[in-house]
């Protein structure tokens, strides 16, 4: 985020707050900006109105939601993992076919008001896939953590070709795996 604005950590004072602490600190003027996610963004815009400006971060940050299991679990339960992946694909298809209902379901599940989620729904992409873009996002996030010191002691850049396992998704829907190293 700072790099995209031409800033470095030396140009700002970073304050580590829990998301629910950010709005009160911003409203009180003890911080000048927040970097957070929904519903905290919508809450800040509602509470502070014209006093806040949301920066366009399109292309700056990508968040992914990944399914992670241990290798022993995968080895012991391949059919269950495949059924789980198939259910995620079914959910994806349903969400695309029924966006109004999906907004309601997701809003209820995450404790967000439907009216806050509906206008930003198109910002989210629900897609079950393994592709090179995902690997680049994982590498970028890993590099940031390593550069910033935000990692466990001894951490190194993972070899994602060894830790990302494509086989369960390939068995369910091979077209969803487009990794160049598959």
Q: State pLDDT tens for residues 18-75.
A: 989 999 999 999 999 998 888 888 889 999 999 998 887 777 777 889 999 999 999 9
User: Is the residue at 57 inside a domain?
Assistant: no
Do both 15 and 105 map to the same domain? Answer: no
Range of the domain at 85: 71-176
Peptide bond before 39: cis, by omega within 30 degrees of 0?
A: yes
Q: Quick one: pLDDT at residue 6? A: 80
For the chain, the domain total comes to: 2
pLDDT tens by residue, 66-104: 999 999 999 999 999 999 999 999 999 999 999 999 999
User: Is the residue at 88 inside a domain?
Assistant: yes
- In 3D space, the residue among 80, 61, 87, 78 whose CA is nearest the CA of residue 167 turns out to be 78
Q: Quick one: pLDDT at residue 82? A: 98
User: Is the residue at 104 inside a domain?
Assistant: yes
How many C-beta atoms surround the C-beta of residue 77 within 10 A? 13
Whether the pLDDT of residue 129 is over 80: the answer is yes
User: Is the residue at 40 inside a domain?
Assistant: yes
Is 46:37 a contact under the CB 8 Å cutoff? no
Phi, psi of 130 (to 5 degrees): -130, 115
Whether the pLDDT of residue 127 is over 70: the answer is yes
User: Is the residue at 85 inside a domain?
Assistant: yes
User: Is the residue at 161 inside a domain?
Assistant: yes
């Amino acid at each position: 985020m700072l790099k995209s604005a031409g800033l470095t950590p030396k140009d700002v004072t970073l304050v580590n707050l829990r998301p629910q602490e950010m709005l009160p600190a911003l409203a009180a003027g003890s911080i000048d900006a927040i970097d957070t996610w929904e519903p905290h963004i919508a809450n800040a815009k509602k509470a502070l109105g014209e006093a806040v400006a949301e920066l366009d971060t399109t292309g700056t940050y990508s968040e992914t939601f990944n399914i992670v299991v241990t290798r022993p679990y995968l080895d012991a339960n391949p059919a269950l993992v495949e059924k789980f992946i198939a259910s995620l694909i079914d959910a994806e298809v349903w969400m695309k076919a029924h966006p109004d209902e999906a907004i309601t379901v997701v809003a209820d599940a995450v404790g967000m008001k439907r009216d806050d989620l509906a206008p930003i729904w198109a910002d989210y992409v629900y897609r079950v896939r393994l592709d090179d873009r995902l690997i680049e996002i994982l590498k970028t996030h890993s590099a940031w953590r390593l550069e910033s010191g935000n990692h466990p002691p001894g951490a190194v850049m993972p070899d994602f070709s060894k830790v990302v396992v494509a086989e369960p998704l390939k068995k369910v829907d091979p077209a969803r795996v487009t990794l160049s190293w598959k």
